[in-house]
């Protein structure tokens, strides 16, 4: 069986939506168990949790089924990488200490099967959105994190849940705006002018997007989410494919031009 690399994001565990958080966690865990044997590497690309803060001796309640399957991956020596998102940016050392899963706060360049990939959650990239970028800088400040840690966990977790709801309400428009207005597409086009990647893989947008950039070969892929789409990206020796765990009828947004044959 050929090995594959998987990219998945935006579980938002802790949030009850069309399915409860517990129901979605069960689906995620079952799916992860199903792909384990043919996984070369697993990338968790942000907003795994709807809210998260690690106190010195306390972490948010729940998610033990997810922890168990991730621990199983690591015990089987399968690399797992965690990229923080805007809802779980206060991830510190728990995953590293308990599971040996490294935490990344910025996009990273990685390579698998000869393909060069630029991967990250995607929040704060591209033009505009200055209000969020300011808030992210404040929340990312070590002094602010230290002050929040002084709050009792019962109160702190209630505050995190409130802030996560406010963030969602301010970004609830999940329509696809097209390549001229999608911030991450604009970012990829600019970044690609001075870099040489085969794929840009992001989460955050909550839409399954597969868009070929202006160079005609580099693709921007947004993984989607596990609230509405249950989507993921799968990489093997033949390239990257955006897939759905349970229902292939979902629309994939973006534009992928058909390459013309040069043979006569």
In order of start, what are the domains of the chain with their CATH numbers? 4-244 (3.60.21.10)
**List of the chain residues with pLDDT < 70:** 1, 128-140, 145, 148-150, 154, 156-157, 159-173, 257-264
Contact 10, 226 (CB under 8 A): yes
Q: What is the pTM of this model?
A: 0.87
Amino acid 148: pLDDT: 65
Amino acid 39: pLDDT: 98
Amino acid 1: pLDDT: 65
* Relative orientation angle of helices 130-139 and 142-149, to the nearest 10 degrees: 60
Question: Cα 237 vs. chain centroid, distance in angstroms?
Answer: 22
Can you give the C-alpha Rg of the chain in angstroms? 18
Amino acid 178: pLDDT: 86
Q: What is the C-alpha to C-alpha distance for residues 230 and 26, in angstroms, rounded to an integer?
A: 12
Q: What is the C-alpha to C-alpha distance for residues 188 and 119, in angstroms, rounded to an integer?
A: 11
Amino acid 167: pLDDT: 55
* ∠ Cα 134 135 140 (to 5°): 100
């Amino acid at each position: 069986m050929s090995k594959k690399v998987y990219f998945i994001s935006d579980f938002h565990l802790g949030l009850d939506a069309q399915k409860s958080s517990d129901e979605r966690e069960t689906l995620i865990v079952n799916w992860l168990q199903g792909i384990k044997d043919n996984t070369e590497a697993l990338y968790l690309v942000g907003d795994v949790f709807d809210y998260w803060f690690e106190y010195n001796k306390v972490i948010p309640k729940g998610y033990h089924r997810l922890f168990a399957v991730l621990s199983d991956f690591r015990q089987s020596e399968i690399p797992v990488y965690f990229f923080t998102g805007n809802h779980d940016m206060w991830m510190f050392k728990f995953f590293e200490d308990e599971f040996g899963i490294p935490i990344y706060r910025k996009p990273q360049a990685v390579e698998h099967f000869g393909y060069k990939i630029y991967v990250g959650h995607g929040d704060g990239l591209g033009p505009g959105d200055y209000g969020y970028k300011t808030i992210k800088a404040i929340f990312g400040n070590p002094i602010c994190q230290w002050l929040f840690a002084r709050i009792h966990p019962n109160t702190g977790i209630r505050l995190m849940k409130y802030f996560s709801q406010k963030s969602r309400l301010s970004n609830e428009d999940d329509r696809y705006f097209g390549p001229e207005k999608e911030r991450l597409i604009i970012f990829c086009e600019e970044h690609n002018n001075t870099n040489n990647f085969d794929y840009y893989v992001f989460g955050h947008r909550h839409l399954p997007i597969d868009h070929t950039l202006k160079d005609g070969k580099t693709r921007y892929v947004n993984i989607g989410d596990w609230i509405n789409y249950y989507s993921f990206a799968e990489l093997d020796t033949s390239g990257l494919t955006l897939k759905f765990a349970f229902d292939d009828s979902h629309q994939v947004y973006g534009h992928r031009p058909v390459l013309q044959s040069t043979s006569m």
